[in-house]
Amino acid sequence: MPESDDWRLRNAPPGLAGSAVRHRPYRMPRPSWDHDHCILCWQKIAEAPTPDAVHDGYVLANDDWLCPECFATLGERLGLHEVRDDRA
């Protein structure tokens, strides 16, 4: 369980607690937009092979992203719940 003073929690936007998330491979929304960042730790999330990026994560309804590490370590604490569906 992360410590209560986990620095990533300072980056949590209002309304994040209790949100539904979907696990997705990252896909560029358009050619000029090649990556996003985790809203908690700022980890790069990209489609193209990049050494400093992860290639999948958890997307919220507003298209914000969480990296797998933040979801694994903070998801339960924030009350996040994964919604599974057939989209990929």
Name the 3-class secondary structure at 82: strand
> Alpha helices, DSSP H only, in the chain?
68-78
- The letter for the amino acid at 12 is A
Q: How many residues would you count in the chain?
A: 88
- What six digits make up the tokens of 13? 């936007």
Question: pLDDT tens digits, the chain, 88 residues: what are they?
Answer: 455 689 999 999 999 999 999 999 999 888 888 999 999 999 999 998 888 999 999 999 999 999 999 999 999 999 999 998 765 4
pLDDT of residue 19: 97
pLDDT of residue 43: 97
Q: In angstroms, rounded to a whole number, what is the distance separating the alpha carbons of residues 13 and 39?
A: 8
